[in-house]
Structure 1
């Protein structure tokens, strides 16, 4: 089957899996304090209306499952009979919610609720209806756009999914700009390098540059035409900066919207602006290999960097509230992104 005919289904499957992983993590975070209550894990089904609830919680529970219902319906679209995909999508979304609500019985920080289950199932239903209503037109549009803009390279759909996940990396205001792959908190170790302002600026600039090069080169490989890459790459990196700015303004305060624009970040962005146009002139395989090297180097530097004083200040002023689980989710994505992306780059370069 030609690449441009099968990719919308593959892309939907990748997006469905990615969104499912985000839902599972967000529903069970922080994955600690597990205990047995002695109650039945499905006792929440007989519970009444929860004592503590807000309209925000109800709408959030619905909204989170709308994309899952949408992606699942599109991913199952090749099944026979036109209503098979939406029915299975709704059942799967409701089943996922039921399973997560059941597991939350053993988490002291989470309260399983039949109302949450109903809202999640409603979200899956709305997503399935949306996909069923716009699915044919959406698929035709995706095929048209991909044929014009996306290069027919192996695993292109996976690359698009990874780039979509990358937009979660700048959402954590306590991390260095574009910094990803920090394993220190996950593995419980810290850097022995002391904080020195001059050297920290160099490290921060290097991390920003290397990660911007990785994303830019990776995106250029997915572009069907090299000329288009010179437009798409800067626009995508600019989108990452906009996400960073909005996240800082919302999560910390409007006055901190541009606090991330430190001398190190400015130098790193300037380096990327100078280097990327030159590197985009290289043939495909060297570009992919350079992207892999930049990704590895940036990940190593992130784990060697001394503690960032801005990170401590950001966390001190950040009232996480409803964003507590969201912060854990974005931090996990930022931690794992390089290790999910490296196999894609290596596999793609091997097939070039």
Structure 2
């Protein structure tokens, strides 16, 4: 258990760093030399025009990286060493990405962004050195909770990571509620179904209901025993993150704009259905989780574009949106396929262990 506990923050650091790299270099097209010196931006004066939201997000984006990095390095380097190494590592990553943005016409390399990233990494590293050991230590609160409620080893850690990535997808509240797995944009495919209000409401309700069922049962599959508050808390966090994203990026006057008629109907059907399925035997829950995820993924790829969503057009004008949307869009597109692969592997793993127990 100690080895797993010490590896968890390192795994989270690597995953988060990969997401930051994708976000900063998204959409990975149009690479060309600008003709300017590569590091000229480092000596640029304070920009005449900037958004305070950009500064806040550049700081906030590197807070988790500094926190996780310091927590991962603390057992080896101690407090001051882990703070210095995590901040330096995040700074090198930010410098590399800002420099690479010189070659992307849709991006602008900025020393102000670099400074904000460093500030966020330093603040996160300070917090990680103080609170990280208590969270990730084998005897810490997080590990005690994990050992009581989540299946053991790397399998449980991967399941928790997938749940965390699903929560991250809720910050891309520019479409359907829980709308992950849509590959049409990535494959340049048109919507196969024409928009009609009544049809859209029915499809959205079915999608939300099957997603609630699939995600809720997925969370149950990685748990040792059903907790009274664990799964409700997961959805409360998801609703809070969706509301926060809607308020911050799209529609400050209507933070609950995501709660459309179809979403309301889907929640009214999906939540009681999930509660009933949590009473079923474990093997049936596992099978239903996969079936519900497959249905939700099929539905999200059939859904027509809704031209009446109030936050469709406002997000594109925000300067900070490109990075953030790049971070969440790829996660949302890939998540159900990763989750289905995990469920398949988990089913095989459990089947082998059950067979071994019967032989004994």
Which band: TM-score by shorter chain? 0.7 to 0.9
Checking the alignment, whether the CA contact within 8 Å between 1:249 and 1:257 is kept in structure 2 is yes
1:310, 1:172 → 2: CA distance? 17
The reply to whether residue 245 of structure 1 matches residue 243 of structure 2 is yes
Residue 141 (1) aligns with residue 144 (2): no
Residue 219 in 1 paired to residue 219 in 2? yes
* 2:336 is aligned with 1:304: no
Task: Give the structure-1-normalised TM-score.
Answer: 0.87
With normalisation by structure 2, the TM-score equals 0.85
Aligned to 1:276: 274
When the two structures are aligned, how many residues end up with a matched partner? 346
Name the residue aligned to 2:96. Answer: 99
**Secondary structure of residue in 1 paired with 2:105:** coil
**By how many angstroms is 1:334 displaced?**
1.6
Render the CA deviation track for 1:259-316: whole Å, top value 9, x for unaligned.
33333222221222222122222333432232122212211111112222333x4313
Tell me if the contact between 2:315 and 2:321 (Cα under 8 Å) persists in the aligned partners. Answer: no
Deviates more, 1:318-327 or 1:10-19: 318-327
**1:254 offset after TM fit, Å?**
4.7
Q: Residue 84 of structure 1: CA displacement? A: 5.0
Question: Structure 1 residues 132 and 207, CA, compared in 2 at 3 Å: closer, same or farther?
Answer: same
Report the Cα distance in structure 2 between the residues aligned to 1:232 and 1:296, rounded to whole angstroms: 23
Correspondence list, 1:1-352, <5 A = 2=1, 5-53=2-50, 55-79=52-76, 85-139=82-136, 140-152=140-152, 154-226=154-226, 228=227, 230-311=228-309, 313-318=310-315, 320-325=317-322, 326-352=324-350
Give the unaligned 5+ runs of structure 2. Answer: 351-360
Q: State the alpha-carbon separation in 1 of the partners of residues 260 and 43 from structure 2.
A: 54
Q: Give the conservation status (yes or no) of the 8 Å contact 1:153–1:348.
A: no
1:104 Cα offset (Å): 0.8
Shift of 1:346: 1.7
1:154/1:348 contact within 8 Å kept: no
Displacement of 1:257 after TM fit? Answer: 3.2
In structure 1, what is the Cα distance between the partners aligned to 2:112 and 2:254? Answer: 37
Paired residues of 2:249 and 2:321 also in contact (CA < 8 A): no
CA distance 1:149–1:297, shift in 2 (3 Å): same
Q: CA deviation at 1:60?
A: 3.4
1:257–1:131 distance in 2 versus 1, CA, 3 Å? closer
Distance 1:288 1:182 in 2: 23
